[in-house]
Structure 1
């Protein structure tokens, strides 16, 4: 039992007068300690801890293997392809890789505000003006290689949110021309 003892200091004071002996006052703290532990336990069990932040991804439904999927045609003026390589390497190109003279050759860049973010922000602004349709914006095709890591994919998805790119896809199919690019950034 927990007790709180208050002592009058002990010993005799003053002259030879006889005084009656005072009782020590005690307070039983057991009930208060029990209540404190019950409250702590209650609040620990009922409090929700911080939930991890996650980005919603719209994943396609599983299709039958026998059913061939026709390739999706997109406007090459609206498309930017980003290939993720080893050691945080990024190679990107606008439009089709088969016609580099029309859209520029594939270029290397990095993550961050002076790298891929600047490119995406420029394209988000220019694509609606070039196509003449303000409702149709930029389409980004993200192609992670087997040498890229999970952090690279998360970083590029963060760049999509920061750059306000509404339409993007994660693809793991590489054309023969892209395979030659991959050899350059996965060394």
Structure 2
């Protein structure tokens, strides 16, 4: 039991002696009990922040995929986003197919994850091409790779810019060569 005691009586100086006062006792137990009851009540009645979950639809993995049956993408609709190391985002419009002489080499550009970065690019492309198909390729080469945070950030950007069609694709050797040749 907690209590407060006050010193009474003689102040240590000479002079007139006063009557000794009885010490005041305050029982702190009910106040402590009340504090713990209130703390318990508020902890049990508070709703905690619920995690936000983004719904992803993943395709069924085929046992023997046939390259001829895979979905073909028009170069005019394609936007390729490469998640680079050090929080860089590389992108180009169209497809990178150096083996096909009829397809021009794409112009690789670099940006970041800010609202004036990749979000602005995606919104501008959505105005030019009503239903672009976004190919997201995480960079992984010679010990340098994109972080998991980069993947979450780009999926958030897909949700914010309301992109209907996007796919996570393995990065190709041609894309790695494009990045290393550009020097960005």
Q: Note the alpha carbon deviations across 1:113-133, whole angstroms, 9 max, x for none.
A: 4432332121100113xxxxx
Using the alignment, how far apart are the partners of 2:182 and 2:32 within structure 1?
Answer: 64
Who is 2:137 aligned against? 143
Using the alignment, how far apart are the partners of 2:153 and 2:79 within structure 1?
Answer: 17
Q: CA deviation at 1:67?
A: 5.4
Question: Where does 1:90-129 land on structure 2 (aligned, <5 Å)?
Answer: 90-98=89-97, 100-101=103-104, 105-111=106-112, 112-128=114-130
Q: Note the alpha carbon deviations across 1:3-49, whole angstroms, 9 max, x for none.
A: 5789xx979xxxxxxxxxxx998665433432331231232244233
TM-score, reference length from structure 2: 0.67
Q: Note the alpha carbon deviations across 1:58-79, whole angstroms, 9 max, x for none.
A: 1425535345573112333222
Contact 1:85 1:182 in 2 (8 A): no
Contact 2:79 2:91 in 1 (8 A): yes
Question: Residue 30 and residue 185 in structure 1: after superposition, are their counterparts in 2 closer, same or farther (change >3 A)?
Answer: farther
Q: Which moved more, 1:25-34 or 1:156-165?
A: 25-34
Report SS of the residue matched to 1:65.
Answer: coil
Using the alignment, how far apart are the partners of 2:178 and 2:121 within structure 1?
Answer: 19
Who is 1:180 aligned against? 177
Report SS of the residue matched to 1:172.
Answer: coil
Contact 2:108 2:182 in 1 (8 A): no
Question: Residue 186 and residue 86 in structure 1: after superposition, are their counterparts in 2 closer, same or farther (change >3 A)?
Answer: farther
Q: CA deviation at 1:89?
A: 3.0
* Aligned-CA RMSD value: 3.9
Question: Residue 84 and residue 106 in structure 1: after superposition, are their counterparts in 2 closer, same or farther (change >3 A)?
Answer: farther
Contact 1:90 1:185 in 2 (8 A): no
- Long gaps (5+) in structure 2: 11-21
Report SS of the residue matched to 2:166.
Answer: strand
